[in-house]
Structure formats: structure tokens, C-alpha cells
Amino acid sequence: MKIVDISLDRLRLELDPPLHAAWDPVPRGHFDATIVRVHTDEGVTGIGSGDTMDGFDAVRHLFVGQDPLDIVRHVRAIETANFHGGRFWPLEAALWDVVGKVAELPVATLFGGASRSLPAYASTAELKSPQERVEVAWQVREAGFRAMKIRIDRDRTEDGVAAVAAVRDALGPEFAIMVDLNQSWRMAGDTADATDLVATRRLVRRLSELDVFWVEEPLPYADSAGFRRLRADNPGVRIAAGEMQHSMTELLSCLDDDVLDVYQPDVVLAVGMHRARTLAELAQHKHRAFTPHSWTNGIGLLANLHVAAGVGGGPFFEYPFDPPGWTPERRDFMLADPVRVNAAGEIEVPARPGLGVELDEDAVRRFRVG
């Protein structure tokens, strides 16, 4: 079997009204998605998406003509290309989609088949008043979710703690609340300082008192000692990070030094599916959790889901959802049907071979910009 071409469709959905993502200093007036298709000489086509694939034209020739099933070879080749500036992990997702289709099995089965569904958490985006955040929490709970992640802005921590306290009060002790401080990495051009370690320690302690399930990215990635300090300070709350940690070496040294409770590398942004599985297996051997970031689009979400379900990750899986600003329809605008959770708040691995992606080709044509 041979790869005969790898094509990219660049899509853009205008967002009106815009999304005010807490981690982005600029409101988002559009949402971009690049779809990767691996075309083979046997008529099987693999689909992936996630990162932008900017610069891929210069390295396409490293893959065309190769056997798509030689996954480890391709992972190593993607890593050599990434060193020079790209993050071409959506290609690996498309290759796994080919492998699954050839095997006539869901990719999660090839990754170990540990679970067929995972409890989802509604991963919110916007900073809202306590009352508005409670309204969204009720909507989310009524849709079946048993967990929600709330953003706290470094410049408005009192407002953030008030929102968490209000949701805890309104929904009670059974509803799991995660908090994301988004301090480990930055959008381009965001040069503001992270909160200092003392302020972060005080904040995490208060969140622990509100029975927060995990606190995510409380510090810059470089501050391993600070992460360990937070864990030692707060035995009642988990510390999570790693969504955009691009080097396996760094992730493995986090494991060696026991820096985190929860490891979150996104398989279409950070280290790819094959490497994430290795990390997940090692984390689980050490009794630490693996549950990947999935904040891209429905295709990227599915790639992460197959890895997480395959290796038995969890206990919750990220489902980007913050109505009305961020909905499954916006997030998955290129899919025939948006990825949904079931009435129990779980996200099920599609039973179809491969990643189970079904594109809406009309939408792909309509929203294509390149």
C-alpha cells in the first residue's frame, strides 16, 4: 500500500458574535480548521485535523510514496520535520485513520481497547459572572455532564473564585469542577507576567477548599519546582498540565520528577498519538492520570478520544462546550454530525473503522479558504 498524495483543506468559520476565550487577549472573530487527507493507491483515505499544518508543503515528499501503515517510521519523520518549525501531528491522526480503516477496527481498539466511552467534562472558554456561570453549569448538567471546567483569569482571580464558589453552591458536592489557570504557555504576543508563586499557592489553596477536582496549568512549564510545591501544599487537589508540551523528553522528566497528578498532552498539537500512548502507559504505571487536552475541532477531539479510550485514560475527557459562545455546531462545523455526549454525560468511541470521522463535504466546500 502506498501514499499517493496528502492534501490539505483550509477552512474558516466566521464567528459572529465572536468567542471571548479566556486565554486569548483578542476576541476570536473566526475559527480556522485544516483538514489533512492521506490518499492511498488502494482507495482508502485517512482524515486528520488539529494543528494548522503551516509549512507542510516543504515536507510532503517525505511521506508520499511511503506505506501508510509504517506508523513508527512516520512518527519519527514527523518529529524531524517538527524540529524545523511545524507541528504536523494531524498527519499522524490521518495515518491512524488509514490503519483503522484497513484493519476495519476503531483506532481505540488498536490502542488497547480499554474503554468504549469516557465521562466527558464540559470545558468552558469564556470568563463569566458567577450568576452567568451557574446558568451555564445548569445547562451543562441538564445535558448529562457531571463535570465542568472553569477558567480563571490571572488578573481577575477574585471573580474566578467567586464563579467556582457559586457553581459549587448551586450544583452541590457531586458535580466535579476543574479550574484552568492557563499559565503554562501563552498565545503569541501575550507578554503579561504569570501570577507569582505566592499568589498561585494562595489561589490553589482556596480552590482546594472548594473541592476542585484539578487545577490546570497553574504555573509556567519551566517552574517544575513550583508545580511540586503546589502538590505538596494541597494534598486535596490534583495538579494538571502538559497540553502543549511539545517534547517527550520534558514530559518524561515530569514523570520522573513526579511533577503532576494529571498529564494532558494533546495528540494533534503536542506529541502525537503514538507518543501520547507511551506517555499514558508510563503515567498509569506510576498511578498518575492521563487525559488529553482536546480543544481543537471535532476531528482533533476524536483523535484524542481514541487514544484516551484505548489506553483507559480519564477519569474525565475534555469536551469543549460553553453555550452560547462555544457549541458543538461551531466546533464541529466540518462534520456531518457534531460529536455529542450521551444522556449519562459520556462520550462514546465511534464504532466505525478508523477515527470515525464523517465530513460534511458541502461544509468543507463552503468554508474552504485555501
User: To the nearest whole angstrom, how small is the minimum distance from the Cβ of residue 182 to Mg ion?
Assistant: 6
Query: What CA–CA distance (Å, rounded) separates 35 from 50?
Result: 8
Q: Among residue numbers 276 through 315, which ones bind Mg ion (CB under 5 A)?
A: none
Q: How far is the CB of 370 from Mg ion (least distance, A)?
A: 28
Nearest to Mg ion of 20, 60 (CB atom): 20
- The footprint of Mg ion on residues 236-275 (CB under 5 A) is none
CA distances from residue 95 to 229, 288, 313, 348, 364 in whole angstroms, order as listed: 40, 29, 22, 21, 20
Nearer to Mg ion, 216 or 332 (CB): 216
Closest CB 320 distance from Mg ion, rounded Å: 10
- Of 23 and 209, the one with the shorter C-beta distance to Mg ion is 23
Could you tell me which of 342, 343, 344, 338 has the C-alpha nearest to residue 359?
338
| In the complex, least distance from residue 223 CB atom to Mg ion, rounded to whole angstroms | 16
Binding Mg ion (rule: CB under 5 A), the pick from 9, 180, 322, 348 is: 180
Alpha-carbon span 367 to 361, nearest angstrom: 10
> Is the CB of residue 315 less than 8 Å from the CB of residue 288?
no
Q: Segment contacting Mg ion (CB under 5 A): 199-207, 212-220, 246-254, 349-357?
A: 212-220
Q: How far apart are CB 24 and Mg ion at their closest, in Å?
A: 12
321 contacts 328 by C-beta, under 8 angstroms: yes
The smaller minimum CB distance to Mg ion, of residues 51 and 216, is found at 216
Nearest to Mg ion of 9, 216 (CB atom): 216
> Would you say 266 or 348 has its CB closer to Mg ion?
266
Q: Is 223 in the site for Mg ion (CB under 5 A)?
A: no
Counting residues that bind Mg ion (by CB under 5 A) gives: 2
Q: Which stretch binds Mg ion (CB under 5 A): 63-71, 106-114, 177-185, 338-346?
A: 177-185
Q: Is 245 helix (H, G, I), strand (E, B) or coil?
A: coil
Residue whose CB is nearest to Mg ion in the complex, by number: 180
Is residue 197 exposed (0-12), middle (13-18) or buried (19+ Cβ within 10 Å)? middle
Rounded Cα distance between 295 and 318, Å, is 8
Q: What grid cell was written down for 44?
A: 482508502
CB of residue 293 to Mg ion, shortest distance in Å: 6
**Residue 263 Cβ vs Mg ion, minimum distance, rounded to whole Å:** 12
For residue 317, what are the CA distances in angstroms to 26, 50, 278, 283?
Answer: 27, 17, 18, 16
Question: C-alpha angle with apex 66: 52 to 369, nearest 5 degrees?
Answer: 25
Give the footprint of Mg ion on this chain (CB under 5 A). 180, 216
